[in-house]
Amino acid sequence: QVQLVESGGGVVQPGRSLRLSCAASGFTFSNYGVHWVRQAPGRGLEWVAALSDGGGIKTYADSVKGRFTIFRDNSKSTLFLQMNSLRGEDTAVYFCAKELRPEVAFDIWGQGTVVTVSS
């Protein structure tokens, strides 16, 4: 079935790096834009980054611009989020999500991976 599975979360010290992965299956990954969305404990949803199907368009939330990089490997149907210079406010559950083409609404979400930034 169509699904996204995140991995790579964990506990990391402030200032360190972490890379999240999102493995896609059940659909032609290269045909869809994909996004990262996060949710801090007890808070609402915050969009983090987007990457178009061909990889030509990348956008980031101001809160992560210059620190996070979104990229994809279509040959492995996998989306990544490289997170550098992590801060306490980056602590959240990170979800990957697939666009409902041609809408930029998200019809498929992963289960989430937890990132905790703490010394």
Contact footprint for another protein (CB under 8 A): 33, 35, 37, 44-47, 50, 52, 57, 59-62, 95, 100, 103-107, 109-112
Min CB(105)–another protein separation in Å: 4
Half-sphere exposure of 97 (CA within 13 A, CB side): 22
Would you tell me how many other CB atoms lie within 10 Å of the CB of residue 29?
Answer: 22
Q: Which is nearer to another protein, 76 or 101 (CB)?
A: 101
CB 46 within 8 A of CB 60: no
Contact between 40 and 91 (Cβ < 8 Å): yes
- Nearest in space to 8 (alpha carbons), one of 45, 36, 32: 36
Q: How far is the CB of 90 from another protein (least distance, A)?
A: 17
Instruction: Determine the Cα–Cα distance for residues 22 and 33; give it in Å rounded to an integer.
Output: 13
**Strand 10-12 and strand 113-117: pairing?**
parallel
Residue with smaller CB distance to another protein, 90 or 119: 90
Smallest separation (angstroms) from another protein to the CB of 92: 13
> Which residue, 50 or 92, has its beta carbon nearer to another protein?
50
Minimum CB distance to another protein smaller for 50 or for 83: 50
In the complex, minimum distance from the CB of residue 15 to another protein, in angstroms, rounded to a whole number = 26
